[in-house]
């Protein structure tokens, strides 16, 4: 078993961390699904489904999912190297970066989200809570619209997870009242194979 990761003091949240892709695909592939030899059914349900990752992580690990906020930056109208769907969220933007981890300290995921600056305080009243928990408290009706899936490397994330890549990630829009509320990019730790099994079927 991999020990819980000890925080890396040198991690600097001045930029966000996208995967350097080996492979990636858009909404059409997300809707169709992947061959099971490429990504197993359990991982597809986790990555391509519309359920809350923080809730799913809690169910998988049996521990509450906690959030470490590492960045809240006003980026104005700078597209920030984000997926193209950022243009669907009204600007100027606030970028938020977090770790999702167990109470015992195991990092399970990294997430970056982009919010319309004028509404971020309305929806993230307690910024230390997971987005799902914040919006659930407000009884906010949402639609999670997965737009893309990513498979690749990120040296900073692999170091922070204490796990070797490649890593799987995704990006999606949250819709509320017929308009995009936020864009979210998530990367998951290979540690989750402990609960979800291997990401690929053996030939």
Nearest Cα neighbor of 65 from 103, 106, 105, 110 is 103
Residue 49 lies in a domain: no
> In this structure, what CATH number is given to the domain that contains residue 107?
3.40.1410.10
Asked if residue 134 has pLDDT above 90, the reply is no
Residue 180 lies in a domain: yes
Asked if residue 132 has pLDDT above 60, the reply is no
Give 185's pLDDT tier (boundaries 50, 70, 90): very high
Structure confidence at residue 26 (pLDDT): 93
Range of the domain at 80: 54-196
Structure confidence at residue 34 (pLDDT): 93
Q: What is the rounded distance in angstroms from the CA atom of residue 92 to the CA atom of residue 80? A: 12
Residue 4 lies in a domain: no
Residue 2 lies in a domain: no
Residue 39 lies in a domain: no
pLDDT digits (tens, 9 = 90+) for 143-161: 778 999 999 999 999 999 9
Residue 8 lies in a domain: no
Residue 156 lies in a domain: yes
Give 14's pLDDT tier (boundaries 50, 70, 90): low
- pTM reported for the whole predicted model: 0.84
Structure confidence at residue 47 (pLDDT): 94
Nearest Cα neighbor of 45 from 187, 155, 153, 196 is 196
Mean per-residue pLDDT, 29-53: 91
Count of domains for the chain: 1
- Distance of CA 20 to CAs 24, 95, 146, 166, 194, Å? 10, 20, 19, 9, 24
Among residues of the chain, what percentage have pLDDT more than 70? Answer: 80
Residue 167 lies in a domain: yes
């Amino acid at each position: 078993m991999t020990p819980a990761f000890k925080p890396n003091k040198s991690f600097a949240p001045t930029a966000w961390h996208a995967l350097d892709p080996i492979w990636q695909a858009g909404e059409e592939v997300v809707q169709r699904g992947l061959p099971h030899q490429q990504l197993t059914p359990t991982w597809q349900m986790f990555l391509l489904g519309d359920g809350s990752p923080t809730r799913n992580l809690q169910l998988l690990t049996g521990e509450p999912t906690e959030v470490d906020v590492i960045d809240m930056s006003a980026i104005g109208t700078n597209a920030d190297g984000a997926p193209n769907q950022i243009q669907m969220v009204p600007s100027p933007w606030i970028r938020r970066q977090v770790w999702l981890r167990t109470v015992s300290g195991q990092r399970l995921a990294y997430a970056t989200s982009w919010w319309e600056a004028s509404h971020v305080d309305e929806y993230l009243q307690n910024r230390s809570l997971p987005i799902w928990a914040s919006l659930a408290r407000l009884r906010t009706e949402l639609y999670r619209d997965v737009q893309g899936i990513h498979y690749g490397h990120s040296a900073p994330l692999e170091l922070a997870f204490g796990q070797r890549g490649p890593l799987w990630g995704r990006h999606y829009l949250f819709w509320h009242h017929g308009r995009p509320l936020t864009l979210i990019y998530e990367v998951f730790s290979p540690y989750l194979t402990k609960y979800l099994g291997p990401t690929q079927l053996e030939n």
